[in-house]
Amino acid sequence: METNELKFVLKLLGFNDYRAGLNAFDSFKTEKNKICKALGDRELVDYTREITAVKILPPGQAVLKNPGEVPIADKELKVLEQIAKASGKIAPSKITSAKKAAERDEILKVLSDRGLIEAEKGIKKNKPEVWLTERAIEYLRDDYNPNKGVQPAISLELLGNYLRFLRKTLRVKPEEVSTALPTVNTADKQISDEEILQIIEKLDRELGTDNYLPIFHLRDKLQPPFSRDELDKALYRLQGSDRIDLSSLLDPTPYTPEQIDAGILQKVGGSLFFITVN
């Protein structure tokens, strides 16, 4: 690792569960995103991501030439047409054919999954987080050897982070080391809406659903103790306070009938299927 990369990792060791907001690394100035991406490419850290640019692919062009021959929703077709009009890559923020950002991002994900567009992902702009991977934990514990040098490259504070990390990880079996956030006691039915929101965020990070958590994952976690109706009402409360958005499923292909049935049924239109944290 380069010196700045090493400092970045050792600083991350000083946070609970080796996870922190990227703004905690502002001392690295303009280099923090570059370092984060470089470490991410080597699977030593991971971070919250979002689609940063898209471009149409040949299968997408073929759909536009004969849209009636391929099952595609009108909303998806409009977004695909706007992407096709761009001379190259286009940022999601420039796509105006979808009214809401959450709806737009869902459509882009569907189009990408179907191979109609190429979607580039980068560090999330709004409150990004970074965390140490299991691979990094094993590397720092078992394999890392610092390069020789005349001057020490790290502070005593960073050295202390590393020593505490070694004492912790060498005290237990490797499989017992967890980078997960503290869990909420779901056996207690008196779970607040705020705790439900924390569980949604935790599941999204663990499952890598890019802030589009299918509701069936939350039902698996919270039913019981909640009934289906109680959990639906809690989600509506969070939506009403603008803490989350609920959106419908456009392409059911990747999901089982049981998973689709776990959505919140609506009188008009499809069921609400995805949870997006605002």
Burial 188-201 (b: 16+ CB within 10 A, else e): eeebeeebbbbbbb
**16-25, 196-205, 221-230: least confidently modelled range:** 221-230
**Domain spans of the chain?**
3-48+128-176, 50-123, 193-277
Residues 6+ apart with CB under 8 A from 248: 263, 266, 269, 270, 271, 272, 273, 274
- pTM for the model: 0.53
User: Edge-to-edge strands of the sheet including 244-248?
Assistant: 213-214, 272-277, 244-248
Question: What would the CATH number be for the domain defined by 50-123?
Answer: 1.10.10.10
pLDDT in tens, 220-249: 888 878 888 889 899 989 988 888 988 888
Q: What is the mean pLDDT of the chain?
A: 84
pLDDT of residue 175: 45
Query: What is the amino acid identity at position 63?
Result: V
